[in-house]
């Protein structure tokens, strides 16, 4: 029955009216075939569109003035790729914590007319799998038109990820591979930093994780720990490596006990293969995973963040994109306060003592840095390659 819904991307785009808002999945869930056709199409109806994406990592970021009349990308986190376009006024950054995005959809504060969602082929019961559970389901519930891009190369993930094929108005078959993200190479300075971070983390602690050289190094230095838990915004190759090392059991977690919990996926093909029907990892929506109240229910929660600069008062400058564009609230505040409110919880900010040019990262003041994390009265631990403070 669901096969009758399969159409071409061109037919899908013909259903779009000028001025509509289109939600796109994030990371591995980005529907690259639909995005590619949208960007290449010259159909007259594709004008003044809004593209809404939680985190823009892939093709939707590759925009220039040619697309100014066709669409405008709105994202909740700039990162490195979208920040230059934001600074030039070609992309809008929506300042919202990730746990509130679903609420913005449900209340209509952010309108969703169309949802482009990447899914697996359906099983024998007519259910497909979302790659992650970030805010895709909430976008589907609010959209007037829901389009599923069926991709045989994405994993069937466990958790709140199953969707009935009846929920889709149209289906297209993917001709583009998923959006893979390569791993960061190990760096000596981050191995030293990670060793010091590991000295703070105890057996049985529950940790949050991110992406970048710090977390690649932590996969090595935490591998000798026992019974760690994982409660993280997204799942990565470095986390997979840590789980494979035997350091993670999740046995002492209060929330999703026995499972590593995340909301979406960023990584390589190896990670996607490992995640397929892997019951060790539970994917839940952002408004569940990143709710500070949920995070704090895990005792001994340790939130680990890479920092750019720190000053002598305890203010932290977090990483920003090109031109000092703020990355957006994202999930830093949520993880920070979730860990701070956890029984025996810790928050760790880690950074090299000097930048690549040899200039110090520990300063008297951070007045010149716009993206500051100003909770100095609640600051817990700062780590460099030289030690823990």
Whole-number pLDDT of residue 323: 46
Query: What's the rounded Cα separation, in Å, for the pair 303 and 340?
Result: 9
- Are 265 and 272 in contact by the 8 Å Cβ rule? The answer is yes
Task: Please give the model's pTM, rounded to 2 decimal places.
Answer: 0.91
User: Are 257 and 227 a contacting pair, CB within 8 Å?
Assistant: no
pLDDT at 375: 67
Rounded to an integer, the average pLDDT of 28-43 is 90
**Residue 28: what pLDDT?**
82
Q: Is the pLDDT at 324 greater than 50, yes or no?
A: no
Examine the pLDDT at 315 and tell me if it is beyond 60.
yes
Tell me the Cα Rg of the chain: 21
Q: Is the pLDDT of residue 328 over 60?
A: no
Which residue in 174, 172, 95, 99 sits closest to 135, CA to CA? 99
Number of Cβ within a 10 Å radius of residue 343: 11
Query: 285: buried, middle or exposed (CB in 10 Å: 19+, 13-18, 0-12)?
Result: buried
Task: Return all residues near 16 (Cβ < 8 A) that are at least 6 apart.
Answer: 22, 45, 46, 49, 114, 145
Looking at residue 27, its pLDDT comes to 79
Average pLDDT over residues 160-169: 96
Q: What is the mean pLDDT of the chain?
A: 90
**Number of Cβ within a 10 Å radius of residue 288:** 18
pLDDT band at 86 (very low <50, low <70, confident <90, very high): low
Q: Residue 8: helix, strand or coil by DSSP?
A: coil
Q: Which residues pair with 302 in a beta bridge?
A: 207, 346
Q: Percentage of residues in the chain with pLDDT exceeding 70?
A: 89
Cα separations in angstroms, 63 against 28, 57, 72: 20, 12, 9
Confirm if 55 and 83 have CB atoms less than 8 A apart. Answer: no
The CATH number that domain 188-388 falls under is 3.30.750.70
Does the pLDDT value for residue 285 go beyond 50? yes
| CATH class of residue range 2-173 | alpha beta
The whole-number average pLDDT for the span 228-257 is: 97
- Fold match, 2-173 / 188-388: no
Please report the pLDDT score of residue 76 as a whole number: 82
| pLDDT confidence tier of residue 62, bands split at 50, 70 and 90 | low
Q: What's CA 177's distance to the chain center, in Å?
A: 19
- Per-domain residue ranges of the chain: 2-173, 188-388
Cα atoms found within 13 Å of the Cα of residue 376, Cβ hemisphere only: 12
- The predicted model gives 333-349 an average pLDDT of 94
Q: What is the dihedral of CA 230, 74, 30, 41, to 10 degrees?
A: 180
% helix / strand / coil in the chain, to the nearest 5?
30, 25, 50
Q: Is the pLDDT higher at 373 or at 340?
A: 340
């Amino acid at each position: 029955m669901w096969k009758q819904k399969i159409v071409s991307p061109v037919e899908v785009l013909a259903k779009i009216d000028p001025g509509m808002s289109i939600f796109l999945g994030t990371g591995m869930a980005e529907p690259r075939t639909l995005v590619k056709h949208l960007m290449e199409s010259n159909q007259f109806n594709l004008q003044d569109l809004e593209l809404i994406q939680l985190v823009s990592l892939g093709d939707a970021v590759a925009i220039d003035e040619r697309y100014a009349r066709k669409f405008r990308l709105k994202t909740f986190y700039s990162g490195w790729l979208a920040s230059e376009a934001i600074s030039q006024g070609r992309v809008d950054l929506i300042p919202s914590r990730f746990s509130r995005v679903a609420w913005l959809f449900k209340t209509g504060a952010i309108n969703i007319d169309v949802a482009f969602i990447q899914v697996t082929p359906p099983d024998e019961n007519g259910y497909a799998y979302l790659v992650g559970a970030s805010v895709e389901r909430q976008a589907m519930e609010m959209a007037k038109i829901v389009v599923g891009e069926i991709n045989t190369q994405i994993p069937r993930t466990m958790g709140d990820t199953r969707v009935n094929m009846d929920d889709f108005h149209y289906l297209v078959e993917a001709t583009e591979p998923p959006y893979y993200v390569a791993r960061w190479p190990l760096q000596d300075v981050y191995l030293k930093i990670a060793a010091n971070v590991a000295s703070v983390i105890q057996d049985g602690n529950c940790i949050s994780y991110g992406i970048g050289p710090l977390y690649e190094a932590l996969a090595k230095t935490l591998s000798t720990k026992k019974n760690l838990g994982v409660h993280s915004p997204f799942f990565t190759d470095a986390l997979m490596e840590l789980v494979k090392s035997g350091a993670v059991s999740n046995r002492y977690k209060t929330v999703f006990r026995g499972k590593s919990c995340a909301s979406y996926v960023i990584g390589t093909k190896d990670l996607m293969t490992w995640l397929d029907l892997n019951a060790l990892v539970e994917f839940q929506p952002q408004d569940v995973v990143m709710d500070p109240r949920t995070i704090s229910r895990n005792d001994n929660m340790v939130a680990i963040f890479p920092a750019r600069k720190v000053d002598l008062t305890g203010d932290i400058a977090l990483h920003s994109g090109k031109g000092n564009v703020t990355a957006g609230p994202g999930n830093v505040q949520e993880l920070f306060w979730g860990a701070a409110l956890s029984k025996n919880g810790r928050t760790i900010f880690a950074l090299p003592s000097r930048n690549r040019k040899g200039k110090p990262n520990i300063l008297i003041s951070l007045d010149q840095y716009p993206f500051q994390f100003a909770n100095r009265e609640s600051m817990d631990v700062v780590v460099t390659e030289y030690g823990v403070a």
